Amino acid sequence: MAESKSHKIAVMVFLVAIFVLLAVFTATWIYKMYTEQTALTERNTLATINCGKYYYSIDPRTVTYDNGTLYLELENTIGAGFDYVMLQSSMDKKEVKVSLTQGMIQPVSVPISLDTWVLVYPKGCEGINFKNLSFEPLV
């Protein structure tokens, strides 16, 4: 009888130890997920706020791609000025110095490899404040 009772206590202690280990593991995992998601949200929010001050446009009539060079005109309509613009296609990525202040239009010509599209955005604003220029498939 005493052996049966001690066996029950040993099983109970073992199960409590397993429960405590699972609780610690779960709490650590939840805390790690929370801190990672909070940091990601803060970083994306800050980038969105910083990139939201750029108001620029690209007149589609000025966009051409000829002999591996992309030609376009950037216009800073009412936004803050920016010094660099990024051009990114599926095949290439270029950084171009532009120095656009409010109300200014600047022609840009960049040798870049592309197939059917190119993204144009101020430096540091990838995926937030971009213009997508599409072309017919280049054969």
Range of the structural domain that residue 14 is part of: 1-51
Token pair of 28, please? 């650590």
pLDDT (tens digit per residue) in 64-113: 888 888 898 888 888 777 888 889 888 888 888 888 888 888 888 888 88
> Are residue 45 and residue 88 in the same domain, yes or no?
no
CB count in 10 Å sphere of residue 58: 16
> 19-62 pLDDT, tens per residue?
999 999 999 999 999 999 988 888 777 777 778 788 888 888 88
Please give the full DSSP string across 80-109, using - where no structure is assigned. Answer: --EEEEEEE-SS-EEEEEEEEPTT-EEEEE
The answer to whether the predicted template modeling score (pTM) of the entire model surpasses 0.85 is: no
Same domain for 19 and 41? yes
Is the Cβ–Cβ distance between 9 and 2 less than 8 Å? no
Q: What is the reported pLDDT for 139?
A: 46
Same domain (yes/no): 11, 72: no
Q: 124 vs 34, which has greater pLDDT?
A: 34
Q: How many structural domains comprise the chain?
A: 2
Query: Is 119 a member of any domain?
Result: yes
Do the Cβ atoms of 54 and 115 come closer than 8 Å?
no
Beta strands in the chain (DSSP E): 56-58, 64-66, 69-76, 82-88, 93-100, 105-111, 117-122, 131-134
Q: What H or E segment, with its residue span, contains residue 25?
A: helix 2-51
**Residue 33 sits in the same domain as residue 61:** no
Please check whether residues 47 and 75 belong to one and the same domain. Answer: no
Residue 106 sits in a domain of what CATH number? 2.60.40
